[in-house]
Amino acid sequence: MSRALPKYNKRRVALIGGAAAVALSGAVIAGTALAGTPDKSSGTNNARTLAASPGTITCPDVASQLPAIPASAKAEVDRNLTLLQTQIQEANKRLVDTVGQGGPNFVNNAILGPLKDKRVATVNRIATAIGRTAAKPTGLDSLAPCTLNASGTGTNTGSGAATGTASATPSTAATQQQSTGSTGSTNTNTGAVGTITCPDVASRLPAIPASAQAEVDRNLTLLQTQISEADNRLRTTVGQGGPNFVQNAILGPLADKRKSTVDRIAIAIGRTAAKPTGLDSLAACTLTK
């Protein structure tokens, strides 16, 4: 008995030690697995931090800078003031969705620049609406540009504005070319970066009333200016951004500008004649390599 007891004790110690080792191994494995599992609340906080990190786009207020609005223009003015707010919201969403894309000038080229162009066109419509029955507001162009508040605490009133005086004044030759539809809308740049090609608008217009001729000519010339500016931007931003940079930062904003410009042409003609339709289909341009 005395000799068997030590063997029994040894066996018992061995069993207990083995069980303890298994338990310890299980604890280590479980701890490792838990350590590799992300905390859900932490993931949510990270997502919120990422969304806030780009900052907030802040724009000057337009509504407070407008004169008394005639009753006949109020609906159109309100509609465009609401559109200004929508434009800022869309730009802020794009700011979050494109974090980390492009080079150092991406935000200015692909978001703030296009936003300014849209706002100029929108406030141009506001100024025009007021000017039909009252004094047309002037000097609001300085309110068109927006800024990026990197701290993300900026407040957007959604009413930044410009007077809509951005239309280029054509020379006599340019006016004659545009009014006869002889000037095409294809950029002549044949550099390695490609050529921006746009549908011709002048050739698609109906007879232009004499009362609308000057305004139509101004906007046809502006269409040419817009293509030249886009072409210059195409050359000066070679190598910037990702695969969608040209579409997002150049062709997209150009289409927005052209749409607003052809809308003004249609409105000018429509005041004293049948308003042309379908001009919006001519807004989109393409890049030809």
Residue closest to 257 by CA, chosen among 129, 79, 163, 124: 124
In the structure, what pLDDT confidence band is assigned to residue 246 with cuts at 50, 70 and 90? confident
Least confident of 139-143, 228-232, 278-282: 139-143
Q: Which helix (H) or strand (E) holds 233?
A: helix 213-236
Segment 45-81, tens digit of pLDDT:
333 333 345 789 989 999 988 999 999 999 989 998 9
What is the pLDDT of the chain when averaged over all its residues?
A: 73
- Per the CB < 8 A criterion, the answer to whether 221 and 178 are in contact is yes
- Whole-model pTM: value is 0.42
Confidence at residue 240, expressed as pLDDT on a 0 to 100 scale: 79
Token readout for 108 is 């200015």
d(CA 196, CA 231): 6
Instruction: Answer whether residue 244 shows pLDDT above 50.
Output: yes
Q: Which residue has the higher pLDDT, 52 or 225?
A: 225
